[in-house]
Structure formats: C-alpha cells, structure tokens
Amino acid sequence: MPAYVVTANNGELGAADNNVRPDEITQDGATNGQALVWSTAGVKWQPGTVGGGTPVWNVLVKTADYPVVAGDVTGLGALISVDSSSGAVTITLPAVSALSAGQQVVVKRNGINQVTVARGATDTIDGSTSLTLDLNLSAFTMVVPASGVDWRVI
C-alpha cells in the first residue's frame, strides 16, 4: 500500500488516497501537527509523526470563503478540500512573498457549486487574478516558483 500522509486538523484525520477505506483509519488521540501514517503492526492508518514530527501536508476542509494564511502552508503545503454543496466558495491564496519556493497549495472541489481560487495581494496565478473549478472533484495545484514572484499552476 502506498504511504500517503496527511496532517491532523482539529483532532480529525483525513486520507489523501481515495482507495483508503474508513475501517483502515484510526483517529484515536489525533492532535494538530500529526500525520496519518501506516502502521504495519496494526494494519491501519493511525496518528503519528513523520521525519521528526514535521507534517508533509496541512489538510484543511472548508465549506465557506476562506483566506489562506502563510501559517496554513506548512511542510510541502496546504491541501484544501472545499465542500461546495451549500453554495459557491472562494479560496484566497496568501501572498507568494510570505512563503518559500516550492511550497504548494492544492484546492480540490467536493460539491455541486463552483469553487474560485483567487489571488492574494497583487500576485497573479499563471497571469490571471483567479481560477475557477467548474467540475466536481476537480483540483488545482499552485506552487511558489524559485523566483518568488506570482503563483504557478502545475
């Protein structure tokens, strides 16, 4: 089984692999900053730490407009799952200057309504001021380039 890891957010863990079954996940004792790691002894995903305790991804679940702050983009970055079942949602990116080269923000739409990814400050996103996720289960991955100027979609 692949070693997917995601961080705990307010005591709840989520898996980044759509093939993970709920009966394979243990949330007991999950705390912020932990990751979901595979336990070969327990044959389950469970709360734990990765490489000295630094989370690989910070996973956020949002149901309303949300301005992403630099503190949300830890480790490799932020994975933001957007439940748009109640209405359209706008996720606003932080200023590129507040982050490090290579950090990423992934925004995934999970719902029937449109999700917009808007720029923060005066940065652009591949030359645009915003991007739109028009299809359910679609996603954008934005990365801070080495130049530290504007977001790049990968």
Q: Which domain holds residue 11?
A: 1-53
Query: What H or E segment, with its residue span, contains residue 58?
Result: strand 57-62
Residue 138 identity: S
Alpha carbons 29 and 6: distance in angstroms, whole number:
15
**Do 81 and 145 lie in a common domain?**
yes
Residues in the chain with pLDDT values less than 70? 1-55
Instruction: Report the b/e string of 53-65 with b at 16+ CB within 10 A.
Output: eebbbbbbebeee
29-66 pLDDT per residue, tens: 656 556 666 666 666 666 666 555 555 788 999 999 99
> How many domains does the structure of the chain reveal?
2
**Do 8 and 71 lie in a common domain?**
no
Q: Which of 67, 66, 105, 74 is nearest to 8 (CA)?
A: 74
Q: What is the pLDDT of residue 76?
A: 83
Alpha carbons 34 and 58: distance in angstroms, whole number:
9
**Do 29 and 66 lie in a common domain?**
no
SS3 135: coil
Model pTM score: 0.67
Q: What is the pLDDT of residue 97?
A: 93
